[in-house]
Amino acid sequence: MSEGGAETGLSPIRRIRALLSSSPALLVCLCGTLLFFIGYSVVFRLTTSNPLMEDIGSALANAGSLGLWAFGTITLIRQRVMSWPVWLQGLFHAVAAPVFAVGWYASVIILLGWSHGSLSAGFSVQPFIGAAFIWQMFQGMGLYGGVAALAYSIAFREELLALQAVAGAEAARPKDAAQRVMARIGDEWMPLALDEILLVSGAGDYAELTTANGRHLSRKSLSEFEALLPEASFVRVHRSHIVNLEAVLRAEPAGNGCMSLQLLGGESVKTSRAGAQKMRALSI
């Protein structure tokens, strides 16, 4: 009973954590709202002689409305605007900055009217005038720039994490999953299926790939090919050669513990003693 009750009591917290972890924009906006609330509260206490609760209400009106506008703006940019052409995104931001400032300003004066109790008297809005209005507009457009930059930063971070996840999956993928490599065929570099390769030989910083259609160069080194090629099909029989077992027609003794491998297409490769031991280990 107690365990079930504890589980039930913790579920709302877990739901909140799951929501915040799945929505970095919401988490950032909540943190930003809290910081702005604290900042406004301190400024109002230092610059006004209003009652404490009135200053808190004013700070909450400014910070809370800013948080809502920021979250809506980030969501709009990430879900819609970022898919547009660059020039159209720039035009959107040029228009959205003053709209954001005016929207935040309108929200603030409405919330201030509510927090100061004017709703009970019929709700009379008292707009900012003079320098206060200019500062509010300047501050709003400046904050819009920060909010837009934050939207792009969040999207960039998520894309980077996605690429890292893909890279990790690629690194963890079995070697057998590799299917193609780029090889130089004539004056062009073309994809070549691994099962077409009969023999891979070292050629300095490159590797020479022997296929049924001839020899081709690859920018990968022999060591890179050894790490790339599926171990079940390819064996490094010499420091300079990797053979495709499917291409081996027969193996003959070549003296000094070595072997001579006859491959499809008439190719012949002499193994090292270590390579010959690998081939013997594969025999039944």
Residue 196 belongs to a domain with what CATH number? 2.40.50.40
Name the domain boundary from 124, 143, 172: 172
How many CA atoms, within 13 angstroms, populate the side-chain half-sphere of residue 280? 12
Q: What type of residue sits at position 44?
A: F
Same domain, yes or no: 166 and 237? no
Name the domain boundary from 144, 172, 200: 172
Same domain, yes or no: 154 and 20? yes
pLDDT of residue 119: 47
Alpha carbon 270 to its chain centroid, in Å, reads 47
| Separation between Cα atoms, residue 99 and residue 126, nearest integer Å | 20
Same domain, yes or no: 88 and 9? yes
| Separation between Cα atoms, residue 18 and residue 127, nearest integer Å | 40
Same domain, yes or no: 54 and 168? yes
CB 242 within 8 Å of CB 235:
yes
- Tokens representing 120? 């009970």
The count of other CB atoms within 10 Å of the CB of residue 59 is: 21
Same domain, yes or no: 113 and 194? no
How many domains does the structure of the chain reveal? 2
Q: Which whole-number Å values give the CA distances from 253 to 35, 64, 233, 261, 274, in the listed order?
A: 79, 83, 22, 9, 13
Same domain, yes or no: 182 and 72? no
Alpha carbon 6 to its chain centroid, in Å, reads 36
Same domain, yes or no: 218 and 166? no
pLDDT of residue 6: 42
* Backbone phi and psi for residue 84, each to the nearest 5 degrees, phi listed first: -85, 165
Give per-residue pLDDT as tens, 221-233: 888 888 888 888 8
Same domain, yes or no: 151 and 207? no
Return the SS3 of 123.
coil
The count of other CB atoms within 10 Å of the CB of residue 65 is: 21
pLDDT of residue 16: 67
The count of other CB atoms within 10 Å of the CB of residue 14 is: 10
pLDDT of residue 91: 95
Q: What type of residue sits at position 134?
A: I
Q: What are the residues facing 211 on neighbouring strands?
A: 197, 214
- Cut 0.75: pTM above it: no
* Backbone phi and psi for residue 254, each to the nearest 5 degrees, phi listed first: -125, 15
pLDDT of residue 21: 64
pLDDT of residue 147: 93
Same domain, yes or no: 150 and 237? no
Q: Which residues contact 132 (CB under 8 A, 6 or more apart)?
A: none
Q: Which residues of the chain have pLDDT under 70?
A: 1-11, 13, 15-22, 114-130, 132, 162-163, 165-178, 184-188, 284
Place of tokens 């280990």: 281
Containing structural domain, residue 163: 2-172
- Tokens representing 249? 């027609």
Name the domain boundary from 145, 172, 199: 172
Same domain, yes or no: 186 and 157? no
pLDDT of residue 194: 78
pLDDT of residue 8: 44
CB 264 within 8 Å of CB 249:
yes
pLDDT of residue 254: 82
Same domain, yes or no: 167 and 213? no
Same domain, yes or no: 189 and 116? no
pLDDT of residue 143: 92
